[in-house]
Chain A
Amino acid sequence: MGKTLYDKLWNAHLVDQDKNGNALLYIDRQLIHEVTSPQAFEGLKIANRKPWRASANLAVADHNIPTVNRNKGIPDPISALQINTLIMNCKDFNVPYIPIDDVRQGIVHVVGPEQGATLPGMTIVCGDSHTATHGALGSLAFGIGTSEVEHVLATQCLIQKKSKNMLVLVNGKLQKGVTAKDLVLQIIKKIGTAGGTGYTIEFAGDTIKDLSIEARMTVCNMAIEAGARAGIIAPDNKTIKYLENRPFAPKGKNLKRAIKYWKTLYSDSDAEFQNIIQLDANSVIPQITWGTSPEMSLNVGEKIPINKSNGSNNALKYMGLSGGDSLADYKLDKIFIGSCTNSRIEDLRSAATIIKGKKVAENIKLAMVVPGSGEVKRQAEVEGLHKIFINAGFEWRDPGCSMCLAMNADKLEPGERCASTSNRNFEGRQGHGGRTHLVSPIMAAAAAVKGHFIDVREIMDQV
């Protein structure tokens, strides 16, 4: 019987396996950030252990750092301590670290692929659930806890049980104004927020093949919001082209060898999936989440559901919404374009096309663009995108996780309503009492201009 892409990736990294299916899996790359690593390094120190292969790791601070006035240092002393702890740990253990003032600094899941530090065929882990992002390049990438971060540092391996295989097959063409974000929100709505638990999801089909590598990252990024630790997409010529000349990607003879291997990374036609979900891309329309779980999303224009269960009732109450209303009736307070889901150059380009020549609505207290990395920011400035945003009334910030999880100063105040291109609308996620609606970058841009949600396709037709 044939093998799935996940089977192949798994088998290639299998060091050992016991009769109960507990496997020792070799890890090629660990990405490290300041929030989930200090206790792991401390554990190494206490046990007097060294990293197995320090250069297999790459560290960068992203969760906690300010996105303004960075040259003035980090005002919050607790955040500063955490970031300094990362710097010291990387120094003490010889772990490669990208400094805060380096143009390559950014969100770890933007930086990895951008620098060619994450490659097809790799196993990639990070103490962050959105590690699934890197699966877009054809790698097995998943989030882990801090104890596992320490385990990988010390042994270059993880003890794992194999997941089941799920195939999400998407065919057809995404309509104008419909993005990878809308597609993945639609998929999550269909599978449910726990529907992918225990599975690795492979995304395939014509629609996925047609997506750019960055758009594929948006899709894989949110696999975890459907409960799956990993989402993967088979590498193809687009993947290879994307990786050419990236700083840490292989070159010359090694690249040729790598490509030969990467071309074997696909699911065989007779491979078996325990679960197959099919979706018609033509039918997907822009999505807006209304509730406090990413599965609670609406087609734009659809009415807010009348509460049916305890969960929906809690969500409506928290979000300050009435069932039966239209989301367009509610004024927005803040706009956030950023996060490891939607902060890459293509996201900024698409948002800028909507914003160009327009102004942020008066009721919007803050509209901000937080590029995913210094490189994204630099590229956007080369293209003049920053001017489009700034002229419209957006703030143009420095890279980091920012208001996706609001660990730094960028946050919602209680009751504030936000159109956000991030990945989680949980209670309090973007700030105590804050109300998050997840959308695509162009939907967020359109909402910024109008001051409330609209169907972005209406103003695209005017362009």
Chain B
Amino acid sequence: MKKFQNFKGIVVPLDRSNVDTDAIIPKQFLKSVKRTGFGPNLFDEWRYLDKGEPGISIKERPLNNNFVLNQERYQGASILLTKKNFGCGSSREHAPWAILDYGIKSIIASSFADIFYNNCFKNGILPIVLEQREIENLFEKVKKNDGFNIHIDLVRQSIKLSSGYLISFEVDKYKKSCLINGLDEISQTLEKKDKIFSFEKKYKNVNPWLFEEIQI
């Protein structure tokens, strides 16, 4: 995983609550066996006027000009601003893969669905939870100012506006360190393999039926 670095980026506002992972990346694109290439189909049903299918070039597809991602002023955005319960529904990690592939590095919302929130960290995306008041404030600023951008500092856990206004945010220490250092969680866990072995040994003695082999 790439190290997460502090960055400044354009904010794109998605003024909806309960954005589900079916909306983030529709199921027909989940047939891929790869982790990349989902970006062109991020929010496919909102972004295009026709029905998307894998293998169809997006250059030939009619854009929905009303959708924020298609508006000139939000081109090159790397921060998604949205409302409550973002990423609800299916556990598909294709959702953060699509977001990352599009170029979004951080998502700011008043709340996230649990599985999606965890999936973001595994892919170097920083999900930030802010109070409703701050979210409304940011929405207002984005709408008023063309090219509105903010600076996200994960080390200091703060968001800085060009006016100098600072907003701090909370993030779990372990998750933060994984992002900053680009750590592979599996390697980290395997460093504890002696602990896992010793747990497993005791556990097997107490629950032998859980270790019966499945034979198809």
Contact = CB atoms under 8 A, between A and B. Distances in A.
A151 B18 contact: no
B30 A39 contact: no
Contacts of B199: 15, 26
B92 A36 contact: yes
A223 to B, nearest CB: 11
Contacts of A22: 172, 174
A245 interface: no
A154 B190 contact: yes
Given A311-B16, A405-B27, 16 more contacts: A16-B192, A22-B174, A35-B31, A121-B207, A145-B91, A145-B96, A151-B186, A159-B174, A194-B111, A250-B212, A257-B209, A293-B18, A310-B15, A407-B27, A426-B89, A432-B45
B84 to A, nearest CB: 6
Contact of B30 (A26, A35, A85, A424): A35
B89 A155 contact: no
Task: Name the residue in B23, B31, B189, B195 with the highest tally of chain A Cβ atoms < 10 Å from its Cβ.
Answer: B31
B18 A159 contact: no
A255 B33 contact: no
A98 B216 contact: yes
A52 B193 CA distance: 10
A293 B23 CA distance: 12
Interface string A418-429: 000000101111
Contacts of B56: none
Interface stretch (B71-79, B118-126, B159-167): B118-126
B85 A96 contact: no
Contacts of B122: 145, 147-148
A81 interface: yes
B203 interface: yes
A16 B35 CA distance: 30
Contacts of A159: 174, 185, 189
Given A35-B92, A159-B174, A427-B23, A407 B30 contact: yes
Nearest first, the 9 closest Cβ-Cβ pairs linking A and B are: A250-B209, A147-B122, A145-B93, A38-B33, A145-B119, A194-B85, A143-B91, A254-B209, A146-B93
12 contacts: A16-B192, A22-B172, A58-B214, A96-B216, A117-B214, A147-B122, A150-B186, A193-B85, A197-B112, A197-B113, A293-B20, A405-B90
Interface in B118-171: 118-119, 122-123
Contacts of A127: 91, 93
Given A155-B196, A427-B23, A193 B186 contact: no
A363 B18 CA distance: 33
Contact of A429 (B22, B92, B208, B209): B22
Interface in A302-332: 310-311, 314
Interface of A: 15-16, 18, 20, 22, 24, 26, 28, 35-36, 38-39, 42-43, 47, 49, 52, 55, 58, 63-64, 76, 78-79, 81-82, 85, 96-99, 102, 117, 119, 121-122, 127-129, 143-148, 150-151, 154-157, 159, 161, 193-194, 197-198, 224, 227, 229, 248, 250, 254-255, 257-258, 261, 293, 310-311, 314, 405-407, 414, 424, 426-429, 432-433
A64 B186 CA distance: 29
A311 B20 CA distance: 13
Contact of A161 (B84, B111, B172): B172
Interface in B185-207: 185-186, 189-190, 192-193, 195-196, 199-200, 203, 206-207
B59 interface: no
Contacts of B84: 194
B212 to A, nearest CB: 7
Nearest to B35: A39
Interface in B12-66: 15-18, 20, 22-23, 26-28, 30-35, 45, 51, 54-55
A97 B216 CA distance: 7
Given A193-B18, A311-B18, A144 B91 contact: yes
Nearest to B178: A159
Contacts of A64: 31
A55 B214 contact: yes
Nearest to B198: A15
Contacts of B216: 96-99, 102
Given A35-B30, A159-B174, A424-B89, A227 B114 contact: yes
Given A96-B214, A248-B212, A151 B189 contact: yes
Contacts of B208: 254, 257
Nearest to A261: B207
A15 B196 contact: yes
Nearest to A40: B93
A413 to B, nearest CB: 10
A78 B118 CA distance: 28
A156 B54 contact: no
B16 A314 contact: yes
A36 B91 contact: yes
A47 B118 CA distance: 22
A82 B15 CA distance: 35
B93 A15 contact: no
Contacts of B35: 39, 146
Of A20, A55, A78, A98, the most chain B CB neighbours within 10 A belong to: A78
Contacts of A82: 31-33
B118 to A, nearest CB: 7
B5 to A, nearest CB: 21
A147 B123 contact: yes
Given A155-B186, A194-B113, A429-B22, A147 B200 contact: no
Contacts of B91: 36, 127-129, 143-145
A311 B17 contact: yes
